[in-house]
């Protein structure tokens, strides 16, 4: 009886802790606290994101270190995080309680999550971690940050992944968590790896022969890693975007890796005080779908801001300081003299006056016998201020073009 009461108490305590964690996770994702930078925490806790992105961008940052506690926990206790803290797991568990019978048997279903992890790791070796965007913490983050945005198709699309995960777990009870989730899978794999390591130490110590099952599993893992490397090469070629490249936030890594390293968590979109970061609706190719791009219709990249660089958990945006960001070029302004008001001999110098980097000057054209705006490519960072203020519409006479 005392045991039963103890178990009940523990269950209630776990439930309360998980409710608390869910509220904290949602608060961080919503970026409603005064310290917007905290939004980086939730998606960065995932060892799946940390290991694959660090491999892909060949950098270990302070943000990568946020995944260390969960990494150690996985080595020691396997899926402890899933059972006790994961907000997606908690939501799924409570939704599937609505469904009976609640115990279907998936023991024979393939462990797709582990393949996803291995393929992504294989791709990360080549700088293209294929399925990083399936991380549940990134999915959770994307859902909540989209709730704060004005209603639009893109905010609905950001909400979709979490709804799909919850639907999978509701229809095929627990299938996502047990067989599909890459974060769950990497915890199992780390636990297994640690087990193999300990086993091998024992073999060496006791001079026993190795366990054939473990040797076979290791072979399968190596095969999946190799497939990941091949898949990364093919996918990068197949999904190569359109000839026209998007303008990415300052500090974004090379375009050929960006689309895979960005986990679509939406942190940068939400953090931008100018509201100029928009998810790509697919105009720059399939691989770029829902990745952040800069649009200058309503504002420009502020010279005193590096917010997007402070909140990216995957390293897709590299974390530039304000001074570094001010020297970073995202694009180059280009003038279309066929529609510029000066070509009609009308008065206009707004692009010259607004440029915070003093990169636009009026120069006299001997050819057309008029003054024209001249861009200094050494000074222009592509901040978009000139495009934003240009009064010509619908197509602006001065626009920012990608330099990547
Ligand atoms: S640096 Fe520019 S793009 Fe990034 S958040 Fe600030 S204003 Fe937005
Ligand atoms: S680039 Fe933006 S959406 Fe992509 S992972 Fe970084 S913060 Fe998230």
Predicted confidence at residue 225, as pLDDT, reads: 74
* CATH number of the domain that residue 348 is part of: 3.30.70.20
In a domain, 246, yes or no: no
Predicted confidence at residue 304, as pLDDT, reads: 95
Taking a C-beta distance cutoff of 8 angstroms, is the pair 301, 32 a contact? Answer: no
Given 188, 212, 238, the domain boundary residue is: 238
- Does the Cβ of 250 fall within 6 Å of ligand 1? yes
In a domain, 311, yes or no: no
Predicted confidence at residue 110, as pLDDT, reads: 83
Strands 360-365 and 370-375: antiparallel
Site to substitute for ligand 1 among 306, 321, 330, 385, most atoms within 8 A of C-beta: 306
In a domain, 302, yes or no: no
Domain span at 390: 330-404
In a domain, 281, yes or no: no
- Does the Cβ of 36 fall within 6 Å of ligand 1? no
Predicted confidence at residue 211, as pLDDT, reads: 53
Count of domains forming the chain:
2
User: What does the DSSP 8-state code read for residue 250?
Assistant: T
Q: 206 and 339: one domain?
A: no
Taking a C-beta distance cutoff of 8 angstroms, is the pair 184, 81 a contact? Answer: no
Taking a C-beta distance cutoff of 8 angstroms, is the pair 173, 104 a contact? Answer: yes
Regions of the chain where pLDDT drops below 70:
1-2, 100-105, 107, 202-218, 236-243
Q: 227 and 372: one domain?
A: no
Predicted confidence at residue 34, as pLDDT, reads: 83
> Distance, CA 256 to ligand 1 centroid (Å)?
21
In a domain, 49, yes or no: yes
Given 206, 223, 238, the domain boundary residue is: 238
- Does the Cβ of 264 fall within 6 Å of ligand 2? yes
Contacts of 282-286 with CB under 8 Å at 24 or more apart are: 283/242, 283/246, 284/241, 284/242, 284/244, 284/245, 284/246, 285/239, 285/240, 285/241, 285/242, 285/259, 286/239
Q: List strand residue ranges (DSSP E) for 130-282, in order.
A: 277-279
- Report pLDDT digits (tens) over 219-236: 777 777 788 788 777 776
Predicted confidence at residue 205, as pLDDT, reads: 62
Q: 216 and 103: one domain?
A: yes
Question: Helix, strand or coil for residue 332?
Answer: strand
Residue 117 token pair: 């992890």
Given 187, 212, 238, the domain boundary residue is: 238
Q: Which residues contact 327 (CB under 8 A, 6 or more apart)?
A: 381
Taking a C-beta distance cutoff of 8 angstroms, is the pair 267, 49 a contact? Answer: no
Q: What is the pTM of this model?
A: 0.88
In a domain, 87, yes or no: yes
Predicted confidence at residue 240, as pLDDT, reads: 62
In a domain, 300, yes or no: no
Q: 204 and 353: one domain?
A: no
Question: Helix, strand or coil for residue 12?
Answer: helix
In a domain, 103, yes or no: yes
Q: 66 and 205: one domain?
A: yes
């Amino acid at each position: 009886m005392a045991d039963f009461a103890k178990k009940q108490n523990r269950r209630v305590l776990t439930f309360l802790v998980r409710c608390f964690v869910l509220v904290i996770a949602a608060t961080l994702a919503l970026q409603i606290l005064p310290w917007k930078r905290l939004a980086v925490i939730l998606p960065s806790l995932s060892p799946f994101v940390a290991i694959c992105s660090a491999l892909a961008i060949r950098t270990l940052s302070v943000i990568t270190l946020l995944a260390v506690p969960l990494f150690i926990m996985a080595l020691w206790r396997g899926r402890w995080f899933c059972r006790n803290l994961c907000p997606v797991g908690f939501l799924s568990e409570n939704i599937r309680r609505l469904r009976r019978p609640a115990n279907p048997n998936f023991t024979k279903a393939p462990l797709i999550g582990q393949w996803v992890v291995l393929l992504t790791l294989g791709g990360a070796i080549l700088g293209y971690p294929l399925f990083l965007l399936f991380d549940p913490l990134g999915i959770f983050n994307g859902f909540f940050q989209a709730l704060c945005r004005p209603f639009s198709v893109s905010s609905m699309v950001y909400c979709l992944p979490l709804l799909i995960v919850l639907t999978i777990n509701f229809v095929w009870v627990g299938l996502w968590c047990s067989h599909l989730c890459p974060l769950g899978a990497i915890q199992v794999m780390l636990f297994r790896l640690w087990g193999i390591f300990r086993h091998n130490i024992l073999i060496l110590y006791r001079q026993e022969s190795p366990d054939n099952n473990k040797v076979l599993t290791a072979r399968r893992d190596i095969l999946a890693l190799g497939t990941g490397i091949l898949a990364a090469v093919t996918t990068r070629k197949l999904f190569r975007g359109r000839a026209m490249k998007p303008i990415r936030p300052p500090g974004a890594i090379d375009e050929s890796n960006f689309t895979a390293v960005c986990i679509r968590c939406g942190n940068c979109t939400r953090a931008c005080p100018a509201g100029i970061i928009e998810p790509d609706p697919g105009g720059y190719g399939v691989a770029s779908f829902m990745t952040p791009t800069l649009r200058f219709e309503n504002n420009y990249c502020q010279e005193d801001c590096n917010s997007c660089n402070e909140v990216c958990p995957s390293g897709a945006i590299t974390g530039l300081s304000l001074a570094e960001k001010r020297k970073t070029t995202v694009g180059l302004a280009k003038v279309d003299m066929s529609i510029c008001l000066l070509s009609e001999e009308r008065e206009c110098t707004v692009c010259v006056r607004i440029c915070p980097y003093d990169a636009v000057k009026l120069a006299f054209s001997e050819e057309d016998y008029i003054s024209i705006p001249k861009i200094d490519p050494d000074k222009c960072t592509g901040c978009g201020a000139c495009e934003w203020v240009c009064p010509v519409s619908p197509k602006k006479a001065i626009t920012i073009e990608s330099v990547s």
